[in-house]
Amino acid sequence: MQISGAQMVIEALIAEQVEVVFGYPGGAIMNVYDEIYKQKGFQHILVRHEQAAVHAAEGYSKVSGKVGVAMITSGPGFTNAITGIADAYMDSIPLVVISGQVPMSLVGTDAFQEIDAVGISRPCTKHNYLVTDASDLARVLKEAFYLARSGRPGPVHVDIPKDVTAQIANFDYSKDVEIETYKPTVKGNVRQIKKAIEAIAAAKRPLLYLGGGIVNANAADLVREFSKITQIPAVETFMARGVLHHADPLLISMLGMHGSYAANMAMSETDLIIGLGARFDDRVTGKLSEFAKHAQIIHVDIDPASISKIVNAHFPIVGDVKSVLETMIPLAKEQIDPTRYDAWHKTIANFNKLHPLGYSEEGDRIKPQWVVERIGQLLGEDANISTDVGQHQMWTAQFYPFSRPRQWISSGGLGTMGFGFPAALGVKRADPKRVSINITGDGSILMNIQELMTAVEYDLPVVNVILNNNFLGMVRQWQTMFYDKRHSATDLSLQPDFVKLSESFGGIGYRVTTKEEFDAALKDAVEKKVVAIIDVVVNRFENVLPMVPAGGSLFNMMLEYKEK
């Protein structure tokens, strides 16, 4: 089939069964947008900023499990999008990002809206391409989707010069992808798996360390089965919230910098870590020399570069978590006595009794933790929860009753303010039957507030709950604790009227100062099914606790903060 490069892009997206593209047009990508106008194979959602296009694609991907697609133009269009691409790279989210580029004859001449997109994206993509001939487009696009979704998922960038989108060439999308240098290991080494099971059977205080790779591998059901069979207690990373049901008696809670006392102490006292799809990042380990000093480590991950990268694994297993667990479960049934760990369970129960995760209700303003808990009580499993980045994000991770994987959508590795709202739009597009909630702060929400227009235009009724403390809260907390209360550039006392702001775009808004007002506002916002902002006035100086200070040991937590 002889067609133009622009038509090839459309045909490839349809062949990949893409149902929505988030994008923003411009000169270099105009030929492709002309073909988007003519087609009916997928929906295009026009965002109001290129960063939002990628975040929306991330939210869509996180909930659906499919490859998210974003489309942008050259120059500033691409540089605006790079934050989203880097965010997806850090959190292993499968995306294909297609950008326009200046014509080949102008590449390297500092032409209008030219930027070295491939050079810029190389450090933060799984792979990237500059397509110089339309005859390569079918192969490149098929490879891009394959690379994005296989192995350790991630964003793949395809940069297409404008003249290439106009070229006529043969289009054949039927060929299988064959990349000699890319062969992900899916099945784990059986000998290593058997050794790991023997180590578990011999351990006295084993601990399941659950990471976001479980969600990517769609392996949560197998993790739940393995946990139930073995009766091994579990901690979840920030990215793994919802892998185990919040009411599962074997789930201790989240661990790490803002993890619970019980979770962090369990990690400090365990004699065997069973790491599944987790990468031992600094927010989990704290001071490396003090991390899990008594433990041997089983590390299962599809990315061989992640294993022993930070913490040495005694039992390294390269493979897809789902495939590895399918091998482990029958062996576990045969060899592991679930009553062996009764004393360990009692130890963990004592940790929970000593310092349970909670907060004080003192003060005349609503506590932000209560808001998170209340959303969970009112909506529970019927909501998908997105967040921006900051204190509100940590309170949500700590206090929301997550019950299933892909319910929790947040920026982990990069920590991107402005992520939550556009991501929640993608979430709503992927799962329209559930309520899409974005829990945010008065700092983060303004970073992509323009997407209120996108929400209205495409009927994506996201409910934005602002925990408004008139601060850049997390930075303020650090300044209070470690910088002698020098609150430099963090006071946000001057803010817009968020109710009027939402209404000006065509949404609805509420300002809330009491619990009763919050209940009424949330109920009304959900029922009206239009984009909403609920501006909740919360305690200004509330801190996220527990907290492991930067560089501190995991077992040396700040459980409270007293004013000096």
Which residues form the catalytic set?
A: 50, 112-113, 162, 474
Distances (CA, A) of 228 to 17, 339, 563: 37, 12, 44
CA distance 39 to 138: 18
DSSP letters of 471-492?
B-HHHHHHHHHHSTT--TT-B-
Sign of the dihedral defined by the CA atoms of residues 473, 478, 484, 486, in that order: negative
Nearest alpha carbon to residue 273 among 247, 309, 312: 312
CA distance 16 to 308: 35
Strands (E), 162-239: 168-170, 206-210, 234-236
Are 449 and 501 within 8 A, CB to CB? yes
DSSP letters of 98-145?
EEEE--GGGTTTT-TT---HHHHHGGGSSEEEE---GGGHHHHHHHHH
CA distance 507 to 499: 9
Asked if residue 184 has a cis previous peptide bond (ω within 30° of 0), the answer is: no
Nearest alpha carbon to residue 546 among 412, 413, 354, 272: 354
Nearest alpha carbon to residue 94 among 68, 128, 72: 68
